[in-house]
């Protein structure tokens, strides 16, 4: 735009200038084709006499230039000339004079513009005035070059719209063809004929169809769904039916022949192989030699431990058992006693294994079968050495402590029986002369028996000799026995009586003054059975010295487990003068069944063991609250109990299933230290015996009438304890040492770790 | 002369094998040694024939199984030594391409 403005000549008048500015406004965005804006330098302006604002002004912007002048200028100044860019246009100009217009307002962008066509020149020089005013009024005021000029008709500038019209119009697109005939043929008839197209060459133009490759499309993509199914294949087969058939194969391992073996042994390969593997073997073998890695130290440790005193006691080894088919068949042993002086002799009381009803029913038969006490010797397990005849089944008997030839027994009918076996002592001692080899066992009859009316009304369950150091007077006061021998016996029975018997002749007792003496009459007796006359004075007339009647329905060893502790002093009732016993001082119901054993401990005089029902209890005299130890209920009934003679805290409990429980109260109190099954049936009696310091025997009898004795392991308690202590000392030292080693190791490890 | 010398030298290789076997046999607790070829046929043994044959057959199968196990896990690997520890003794087997050597030892002796 600036260049257009520059090129506008200043020849025209103001009015014309305004007009052309108006026209220019219409064309501000581009200059028309027939003018060309150009810039003239001041030198060129002087040369052509078109200096700005001097030769050409706003009012008079037109300047006619001669074509030759321009051409000469171009020739003279060549590229430098201002007209050089339009050189061709100038040369093509048809006329001789060109119009240069001063564009003072830079409408076309330059200070001058050159009119290129004659028509435009004419138009410029002869402006259209009429239209100008109206056009100026219609113009929008917002345009950049807003002027109020009327527009003049301008040549139509084709913008391409006539092309559409031309397309629609029908015009000749080719020259018309002329067909001519000679004159004479005008109006003559025309004859058409056929001609085959194929006859002549190029008679027809064929347009054969062909497959245009452009239209054959290969579908490269297709949208389709796919579903997979397992591969199914049907096929059939025919099996061959085979049936099983018995067949056998014999095989033997393949072996090489000797030469083959030799060959192999001598081969190089074998040599290399053996050399290469030998080291592995040596290492492995040495490993095994050094240490057995699979050795279970833990298990081995426990075995070591148990060897030291847990169950150190080996089981009771049954030494010998005694059964007599003849005398003890179908009988049970009720009591055992070791002979106090003769080693290896045991006496057993054999009783019938019958219940009360059976006894009554078979009473006649019983009378024919006498009850016996058998003496067994270790040397002869089959035949008893001696038989003691009893009037009735003996439930308890005892050797006299001061004179072992005297035996007292308590019968089932309440009688007290005495035997004297002094004549047979040598036999028992084993000093039998060879010619006196008897096939049958000697029988000793009882030499004294108490009167039935004087004795108990119930079977005597226990009988004891009073120690030889004291005796009891008629009043129940213990006195010193000046004789030094045992003269008194105590018996008890379930008839709630405890009786004291004296075996001396009644004349000794007559010296005592009493209101109601119980006289023991002396009666000389015949001696029909060769029984010694030792106690003739007592026979059949023996009466108890003191009779204690307990108020309760039970006695010391009651039926239903009641334990009674009483004092046996008789008291005199002042009113009737009768003697009666004091009321029992304590009674305890501890055991759930019949109390079958009451025993003092051989080591502690005030410790008593009671066994009954399913439990046993240990009592201390003076402690009246109850037992100091009571065992837990065992599975089976306890039938008998006995203190061990050698070890203070050991007791033996016999059970009804034939087991013996050895209780070591210093070791454990909740269960027996050892249980051993001795026999299949109920154990009826246990009696330990100390033969010597080395040999402790235990005699056990069972319900079937078998007696057996076994050797108790002679484990000396204190020695064992000393051993145990020594062992523990050693262990403690070892452990301390191990601990020290371990700590040292730990410390070393730590330092190593820290040093790293 | 050459053959004479050849004959003289021949027993040596055998002696070497013998010596090695004697050395192993002399270790404490070794109960027996068996050399078996790749097919399980015993070549040399210090036990009686029936035991040898039994050991050879059973151990051959065991070694094949053990070797195939090791190689299945890692084909670059191979079995070098097999020790079977039982309550009474220990059986040690060293397999090779062509032979294996079986040694029975009682380690707690």
Name the burial class of residue A598, with classes exposed (0-12), middle (13-18) and buried (19+) by CB atoms within 10 angstroms of its CB: middle
Between β-strands A443-444 and A386-390, what pairing exists: parallel, antiparallel or unpaired? parallel
Residue of A376, A381, A383, A377 lying closest to A320 (CA atoms): A381
In chain B, residues with a C-beta closer than 8 Å to the C-beta of A276 are 96
Question: Is residue B81 over pLDDT 90?
Answer: yes
| Closest CB from A265, A285, A292 relative to B17 | A265
Contact A282 B107 (CB under 8 A): no
| Whether the Cβ atoms of residue A336 and residue A701 lie closer than 8 Å to each other | yes
Q: How far apart are CA A622 and CA A377, in angstroms?
A: 42
| Closest CB from A256, A273, A294 relative to B99 | A273
Long-range Cβ pairs for the range A747-754 (8 Å, 24+): none
Contact B27 A289 (CB under 8 A): yes
Compute CA distances A697 → A330, A496, A512, A639, A708, whole Å: 26, 35, 45, 20, 10
Q: How far apart are CA A481 and CA A470, in angstroms?
A: 4
Residue A95 structure tokens: 């006329």
Supply the pLDDT for residue A527.
Answer: 34
How many CA atoms lie within 13 Å of A201's alpha carbon, on the beta-carbon side?
0
List, for chain A, all residue ranges whose pLDDT scores fall below the cut of 70.
1-32, 58, 127-148, 303-317, 327-329, 354-360, 362-369, 430-440, 454, 468-486, 494-498, 504-587, 594, 692-694, 713-720, 755-756
Size (chain A), residues: 756
Supply the pLDDT for residue B55.
Answer: 92
Any idea what DSSP says for residue B78? -
Q: How far apart are CA A618 and CA A598, in angstroms?
A: 10
Contact A270 B99 (CB under 8 A): yes
Which residues lie closer than 8 Å to A110 by C-beta, 6 or more apart?
Answer: A2, A3, A4, A5, A6, A7, A8, A37, A38, A39, A103
Q: How far apart are CA A667 and CA A454, in angstroms?
A: 48
Contact A284 B92 (CB under 8 A): yes
Q: How far apart are CA A471 and CA A489, in angstroms?
A: 10
Task: Give the pLDDT band (50/70/90) at residue B6.
Answer: very low
Q: Per-residue pLDDT tens for B47-57?
A: 999 999 999 99
Contact B56 A294 (CB under 8 A): no
Chosen for mutation from B6, B18, B27 (greatest number of chain A CBs closer than 10 Å) is B27
Q: Which residue of A has its CA nearest to B15?
A: A266
Chosen for mutation from A284, A291, A295, A296 (greatest number of chain B CBs closer than 10 Å) is A284
Does the CB of B26 have a partner CB in chain A at under 8 Å? no
Contact B44 A261 (CB under 8 A): yes
Contact A269 B98 (CB under 8 A): yes
CA A630 to chain centre: 40
Contact A281 B92 (CB under 8 A): yes
Does the CB of B85 have a partner CB in chain A at under 8 Å? yes
Contact B99 A295 (CB under 8 A): no
Does the CB of B14 have a partner CB in chain A at under 8 Å? yes
Contact A285 B83 (CB under 8 A): no
Supply the pLDDT for residue B77.
Answer: 93
In chain B, residues with a C-beta closer than 8 Å to the C-beta of A275 are 16, 20
Residue A388 structure tokens: 């003691």
Please report the DSSP string for B13-37 in residue order: HHHHHHHHHHHHHTSTTEEEEEEEE
| Closest CB from B20, B24, B41 relative to A255 | B41
Does the CB of B105 have a partner CB in chain A at under 8 Å? yes
| Whether the Cβ atoms of residue A462 and residue A499 lie closer than 8 Å to each other | no
In the block, which residue shows the tokens 């230039």? A65
Helix (H) / strand (E) containing A502: strand A497-502
In the block, which residue shows the tokens 């735009």? A1
Chosen for mutation from A253, A258, A287, A291 (greatest number of chain B CBs closer than 10 Å) is A253
| Closest CB from B20, B21, B105 relative to A288 | B105
Residue A676 structure tokens: 């051993």
In chain B, residues with a C-beta closer than 8 Å to the C-beta of A266 are 10, 13-14
Q: Which residues pair with A114 in a beta bridge?
A: A100
Supply the pLDDT for residue A603.
Answer: 76
In chain A, residues with a C-beta closer than 8 Å to the C-beta of B57 are 253
Q: Which residues pair with A733 in a beta bridge?
A: none
Q: Per-residue pLDDT tens for B69-80?
A: 999 999 999 999
Contact B17 A271 (CB under 8 A): yes
Residue of B104, B106, B105, B102 lying closest to B56 (CA atoms): B102
Average pLDDT, chain B: 85
Residues of chain B numbered 27-66 and touching chain A (CB < 8 Å) = 27-30, 35, 37, 39-44, 53, 56-57
Residue A593 structure tokens: 């069944």
Q: Provide the shortest C-alpha distance from residue A300 to chain B (in Å).
A: 14
Residue of A44, A43, A53, A42 lying closest to A8 (CA atoms): A53
Supply the pLDDT for residue A533.
Answer: 41
Contact A278 B39 (CB under 8 A): no
Q: How far apart are CA A442 and CA A529, in angstroms?
A: 13
Q: Which residue of B has its CA nearest to A264?
A: B43
Q: How far apart are CA A627 and CA A595, in angstroms?
A: 14
Chain A with chain B: Cβ pairs closer than 8 A? 91
In chain A, residues with a C-beta closer than 8 Å to the C-beta of B16 are 271, 274-275
Instruction: Using DSSP, state whether B68 is helix, strand or coil.
Output: helix
Instruction: Write out the residues of chain A at the interface with chain B, using a CB-CB cutoff of 8 A.
Output: 253-256, 261, 264-266, 268-271, 273-278, 280-282, 284-286, 288-289, 292, 294-295
Which residues lie closer than 8 Å to A270 by C-beta, 6 or more apart?
Answer: A264, B17, B35, B43, B98, B99
Q: Provide the shortest C-alpha distance from residue B43 to chain A (in Å).
A: 5
Contact B27 A285 (CB under 8 A): yes
Name the burial class of residue A481, with classes exposed (0-12), middle (13-18) and buried (19+) by CB atoms within 10 angstroms of its CB: middle
Supply the pLDDT for residue A144.
Answer: 52
Chosen for mutation from B103, B104, B108 (greatest number of chain A CBs closer than 10 Å) is B103
| Closest CB from A253, A265, A273 relative to B98 | A273
Between β-strands A462-465 and A683-690, what pairing exists: parallel, antiparallel or unpaired? unpaired
Q: Which residues pair with A331 in a beta bridge?
A: A352
| Whether the Cβ atoms of residue A264 and residue B37 lie closer than 8 Å to each other | yes
Q: How far apart are CA B3 and CA A268, in angstroms?
A: 19
Q: Which residue of A has its CA nearest to B97?
A: A273
Residue of A709, A706, A663 lying closest to A690 (CA atoms): A709
Residue of A557, A651, A669 lying closest to A613 (CA atoms): A557
Q: Which residue of B has its CA nearest to A296?
A: B87
Q: Provide the shortest C-alpha distance from residue A259 to chain B (in Å).
A: 11
In the block, which residue shows the tokens 């290469």? A276
| Whether the Cβ atoms of residue B36 and residue B56 lie closer than 8 Å to each other | yes
Contact A280 B94 (CB under 8 A): yes
Q: Provide the shortest C-alpha distance from residue A248 to chain B (in Å).
A: 21
Instruction: Using DSSP, state whether A186 is helix, strand or coil.
Output: coil
Structure-derived torsion over alpha carbons of residues A743, A748, A753, A755, reported in degrees to the nearest 10? 140
In chain A, residues with a C-beta closer than 8 Å to the C-beta of B41 are 253-256
Q: Which residue of B has its CA nearest to A258?
A: B43
């Amino acid at each position: 735009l600036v260049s257009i403005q520059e090129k506008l000549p200043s020849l025209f008048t103001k009015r014309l200038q305004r007009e052309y500015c108006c026209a220019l406004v219409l064309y501000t965005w581009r200059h028309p084709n027939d003018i060309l804006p150009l810039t003239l330098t001041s030198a060129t302006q002087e040369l052509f006499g078109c200096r700005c604002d001097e030769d050409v002004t706003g009012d008079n912007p037109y300047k006619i230039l001669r074509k030759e002048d321009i051409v000469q200028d171009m020739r003279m100044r060549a590229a430098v000339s201002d007209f050089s860019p339009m050189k061709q246009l100038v040369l093509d100009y048809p006329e001789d004079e060109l119009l240069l217009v001063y564009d003072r307002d830079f409408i076309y962008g330059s200070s001058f513009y050159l009119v290129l066509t004659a028509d435009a020149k004419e138009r410029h020089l002869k402006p259209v005035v009429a239209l100008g005013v109206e056009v100026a009024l219609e113009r929008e005021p917002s345009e950049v070059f807003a002027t109020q000029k009327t527009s003049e008709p301008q040549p139509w500038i084709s913008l391409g719209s006539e092309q559409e019209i031309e397309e629609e119009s029908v015009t000749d697109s080719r020259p018309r063809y002329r067909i001519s005939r000679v004159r004479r043929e005008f109006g003559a008839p025309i004859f058409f004929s056929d001609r085959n197209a194929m006859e002549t060459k190029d008679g027809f133009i064929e347009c054969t169809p062909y497959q245009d490759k452009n239209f054959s499309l290969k579908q490269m993509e297709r949208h389709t769904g796919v579903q997979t199914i397992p591969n199914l294949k049907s096929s059939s087969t025919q099996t061959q039916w085979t049936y099983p058939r018995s067949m056998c194969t014999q095989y033997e391992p393949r072996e090489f022949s000797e030469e083959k073996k030799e060959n192999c042994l001598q081969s190089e390969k074998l040599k290399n192989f053996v050399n290469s593997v030998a080291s592995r073997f040596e290492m492995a073998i040495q490993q095994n030699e050094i240490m057995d890695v699979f050795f279970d130290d833990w298990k081995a440790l426990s075995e070591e431990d148990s060897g030291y005193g847990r169950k150190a006691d080996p089981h009771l080894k049954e030494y010998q058992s005694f059964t007599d088919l003849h005398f003890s068949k179908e009988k049970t042993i009720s009591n055992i006693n070791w002979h106090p002086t003769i080693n290896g002799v045991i006496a057993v009381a054999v009783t019938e294994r019958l219940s009360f009803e059976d006894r009554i029913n078979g009473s006649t038969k019983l009378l024919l079968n006498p009850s016996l006490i058998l003496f067994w010797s270790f040397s002869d397990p089959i035949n008893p050495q001696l038989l003691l005849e009893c009037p009735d089944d003996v439930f308890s008997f005892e050797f006299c402590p001061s004179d072992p030839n005297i035996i007292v027994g308590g019968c089932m009918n309440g009688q007290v029986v005495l035997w004297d076996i002094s004549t047979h002592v040598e036999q028992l001692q084993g000093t039998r002369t060879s010619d006196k080899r008897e096939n049958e066992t000697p029988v000793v009859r009882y030499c004294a028996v108490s009167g039935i009316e004087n004795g108990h009304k119930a079977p005597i369950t226990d009988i004891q000799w009073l120690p030889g150091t004291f005796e009891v007077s008629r009043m129940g006061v213990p006195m010193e026995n000046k004789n030094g021998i045992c003269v008194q016996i105590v018996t008890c029975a379930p008839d709630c009586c405890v009786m004291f018997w004296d075996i001396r002749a009644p004349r000794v007792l007559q010296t005592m003054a009493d209101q109601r003496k119980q006289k023991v009459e002396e009666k000389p007796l015949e001696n029909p059975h060769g029984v010694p006359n030792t106690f003739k004075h007592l026979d059949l007339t023996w009466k108890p010295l003191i009779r204690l009647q307990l108020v309760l329905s039970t006695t010391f060893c009651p039926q239903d487990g009641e334990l009674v502790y009483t004092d046996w002093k008789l008291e005199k009732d002042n009113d009737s003068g009768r003697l009666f016993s004091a009321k029992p001082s304590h009674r305890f119901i501890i055991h759930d069944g019949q109390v079958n054993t009451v025993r003092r401990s051989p080591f502690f005089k005030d410790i008593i063991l009671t066994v009954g029902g399913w439990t046993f209890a240990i009592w201390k005299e003076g402690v009246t609250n109850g037992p100091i130890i009571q065992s837990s209920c065992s599975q089976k009934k306890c039938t008998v109990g006995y203190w061990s003679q050698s070890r203070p805290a050991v007791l033996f409990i016999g059970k009804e299933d034939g087991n013996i429980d050895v209780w070591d109260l210093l070791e454990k109190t909740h269960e027996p230290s050892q249980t051993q099954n001795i026999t299949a049936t109920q154990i009826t009696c246990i009696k330990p015996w100390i033969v010597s310091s080395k040999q402790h025997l235990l005699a056990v009898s069972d319900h079937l009438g078998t007696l057996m004795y076994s050797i108790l392991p002679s484990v000396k308690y204190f020695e064992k304890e000393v051993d145990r202590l020594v062992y523990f000392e050693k262990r403690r030292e070892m452990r301390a040492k191990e601990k020290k080693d371990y700590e040292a190791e730990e410390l070393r490890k730590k330092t190593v770790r820290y040093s790293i | 002369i050459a053959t004479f010398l050849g004959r003289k030298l021949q027993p040596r290789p055998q002696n070497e094998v013998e010596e090695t076997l004697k050395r192993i046999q002399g270790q404490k607790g070794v109960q027996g040694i068996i050399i078996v070829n790749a097919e399980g046929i015993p070549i040399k043994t210090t036990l009686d024939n029936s035991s040898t044959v039994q050991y050879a057959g059973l151990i051959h199968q065991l070694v094949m199984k053990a070797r195939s196990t090791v190689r299945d896990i890692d084909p670059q690997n191979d079995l070098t030594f097999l020790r079977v520890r039982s309550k009474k003794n220990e059986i040690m087997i060293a397999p090779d391409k062509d032979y294996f050597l079986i040694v029975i030892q009682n380690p707690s002796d």
